[in-house]
Chains A and B, each alone.
Chain A
Amino acid sequence: MMWPLAPMLVPLATALLCVLTQSTPRRQQMISVVGATVLLITSTLLFLEVQQVGALRVVLGHWPLPFGIEFVADVLGTALALVAALMLNVTVLWQWSDADAAPSSPTLHPLLHGLVAGVCGAFMTADLFNLYVWFEVALMCALGLLAHGGGLHQLDAALKYFVLNVIGTMLFLVAVALIYAATGHLNFSALGDAMARLDAAVALPLYGLLLFALLAKAAAFPLYAWLPASYHTLPPPVLALFSALLAKVGIYAILRLFGNVFTPAPALLYDALGWIAVLSMIAGVLGAAYHWDMRRILAFHSISQIGYILLAIAMASRTGDTAAIFFTLHHSLVKASLILVAALVFRYTGHYDLRRCGGLYASRPWLGVAFLLLALSLVGIPPFSGFWGKYLIVREALSQGAYLWTACALLVSVVTLYSMMKIWLEAFWKPHPDPAWRAPEHVRLAPAWVGVSGLALVVLSIGVAPEALIGFADAAAGALRGDVP
């Protein structure tokens, strides 16, 4: 009966034990590694079990529904929790390398595990108010991680992140309160029925406010300002964890609420979502094309990729949901590995600014190959993994007659390719601007390389054999739409 709660309770317990061992860093790191490994094992087992037997449900404290707080471990939630566990392991592993790792501080490990606990909680809960609580847990831990180091840049980023996210969270809370006032329910399945019975004139503003708040969480246009303002000050392993998880929680909540709980929501919402998606794509990719700092480029890319996922959700069909789930899982892994590659580039050349690095293909060809493969996966050049995600989205958009959106999506792909090639040409292909530069010889990067190549292999195998993941995403989308036998 506790089994489906493991993705929340394991990182929560690990975070607390890490707090208790703050004075002994070695012991704390051991606990952190063990906790991350246990989380990976339990979430893999849970994922496999849910595949076999279907969603597992627990109502905390044995309270009767719809009053008790319910947790549901379903196909989508456990898959995302598995990705979170995987990324946490990579981040913790990375601490052993001397690449641009997070500064070792007694609060780093508790906050990392706390963040994952919040994120996994949001993936598992089946209660609207409880979703808000997990958002808060993740927000507070992310804020602590952003403020790490306490430098001017960090505090500036933390403040921007905090203010913009708190506005989003507060709006979400207001939306939850209004929905509760209108329906008297918070449990997802009870809410779905109650909202469907509500007068359309009352329901539409409630849906709109809820969607607006979640879009701020998902870093969609025009509420994305917090993401590029804060991400580039983070150490790369933490940044990889953030970009794999943080905006995805918002995406997940939109997919869960407007693809599952409130279906069918008014068509107007999905139209608005489609336009917001297209604008996010364009704004994100233009930002990426403009910047020279690799971390900023990749952060802006996330916004544009979030646009693709939102466009898939806006299709409001099973195929659209399939594409959204595929794209979300794929993007978490690809973006995280690209950020880690950028961190390796930084370790070798000493700069994140593309104008100041170069010559890496001659001295570290494998890094160049890894970057190229991952970048092409992100852009979606066949046969790499991103292609399948974009193919699903474009095909569904065309079949629904959304030609303008399709054209925008394809155009944005081209600009994405441009900005990825910019990184490749500047960091790898062109000679280093300083002729006296030599790649440092004495580096301890083995753990970092294990992390990057592990993720890259997963990404490549998705590209080579996409059927497995597409089939899985389709099953998950079917479960969301409730048309699974």
Chain B
Amino acid sequence: MTSRPLLAEVFVRGLYIVLLVASIWVLLRGHNAPGGGFIGGLLAVAASAAYALTFNATSALQRLPLRPAALAAIGVLLSAASGVPALWSDLPFLTHLWVELPLGIADLPLSTVMVFDFGVYLCVWGALGGYCLGLLRALEEAP
């Protein structure tokens, strides 16, 4: 009979969501205050790692939106693509552009930097998360 850490399971189920929301908040906040894609991505990795430690690595991997390598690759592609719009304005690659989207109540500031940072976020989550979960799985499978 194996003992289940029931309290931890209940707690981590909630913590997983909270950590992911916090990681998005840190990702977005980074544009005006400390934070950004890298730290947001690390928080997301922490969420995955907490889940894997409480349940197991395989179920944590299933909770990722894609398989880790694909997640990281899409992240880097997004970051690279965020440098492309500058070319239409005859600016060098990776020059970032900002627009204010008027919504009536307030203006919503948007920028290509956000796309870049979101790419970094996905890349960190995919690469470091995949690495961490892969190691945990190797530990679980070890005799």
Chain A interface residues toward B at CB < 8 A: 1-2, 5, 9, 12-13, 16-17, 19-20, 22, 58-62
Contacts and interface: CB of A to CB of B under 8 A. Distances in A.
Nearest to B96: A61
A61 B69 CA distance: 27
B74 A20 contact: yes
B77 interface: yes
A86 B77 CA distance: 25
Contacts of B90: 1
* Residue of A1, A13, A59 ringed by the most chain B CB atoms within 10 A: A1
| Residue among B73, B74, B77, B91 facing the most chain A CB atoms (10 A cut-off) | B73
Contact of B87 (A1, A12, A61): A1
Nearest to B74: A20
B70 A62 contact: no
30 contacts: A1-B87, A1-B92, A2-B93, A9-B80, A12-B76, A12-B80, A13-B77, A13-B80, A16-B73, A16-B76, A19-B69, A19-B72, A19-B73, A20-B70, A20-B73, A20-B74, A22-B69, A58-B92, A58-B93, A59-B92, A60-B92, A60-B93, A60-B94, A61-B83, A61-B92, A61-B93, A61-B96, A62-B91, A62-B92, A62-B95
Contacts of A16: 73-74, 76-77
A17 B74 CA distance: 9
Given A9-B80, A13-B80, A61 B95 contact: yes
B130 to A, nearest CB: 11
B80 A61 contact: no
Nearest to A4: B93
A408 to B, nearest CB: 47
A58 B91 CA distance: 10
B87 A2 contact: yes
Interface residues of B, number: 19
Q: 10 closest pairs, A vs B, by CB?
A: A19-B73, A62-B95, A16-B73, A61-B94, A2-B93, A60-B94, A1-B92, A16-B77, A58-B92, A62-B92
Contacts of A60: 83, 92-94
B93 A1 contact: yes
A247 B5 CA distance: 53
A5 B87 CA distance: 12
A262 to B, nearest CB: 27
Contacts of B91: 1, 62
Nearest to A70: B92
A13 B83 CA distance: 13
Contacts of B76: 12, 16
Interface in B58-73: 69-70, 72-73
Most chain A Cβ neighbours within 10 Å, of B74, B90, B94, B95: B94
Contacts of B74: 16, 20
A2 B95 CA distance: 11
A1 B80 CA distance: 14
Contacts of B77: 13, 16-17
Which one of B69, B90, B92, B96 has the greatest number of beta carbons of chain A within 10 Å? B92
A5 B73 contact: no
B112 to A, nearest CB: 11
Nearest to B66: A20
Contacts of A17: 73, 77
A467 B73 CA distance: 45
A20 to B, nearest CB: 5
B82 to A, nearest CB: 11
Contacts of B69: 19, 22
Contacts of A12: 76, 80
A120 B82 CA distance: 22
A13 B72 CA distance: 13
A9 B92 CA distance: 14
Contacts of B80: 9, 12-13
Given A9-B80, A16-B73, 13 more contacts: A1-B86, A1-B87, A12-B76, A12-B80, A13-B77, A17-B77, A19-B69, A19-B70, A59-B92, A60-B94, A61-B96, A62-B91, A62-B92
B36 to A, nearest CB: 16
Interface string B74-107: 1011001001101100111111100000000000
A12 B70 CA distance: 14
Nearest to B90: A1
A61 B97 CA distance: 10
Residue from B74, B77, B87 with most neighbouring chain A CB atoms (10 Å): B77
Could you say which of A5, A17, A62 has the most chain B C-beta atoms within 10 Å of its C-beta? A62
Contacts of A59: 92
A9 B73 CA distance: 14
Contacts of A19: 69-70, 72-73
Contacts of B70: 19-20, 22
Contacts of B94: 60-61
A58 B90 CA distance: 12
A177 B56 CA distance: 42
A13 B73 CA distance: 9
Contacts of B84: 2
A108 to B, nearest CB: 14
Contacts of B86: 1, 62
Nearest to A58: B92
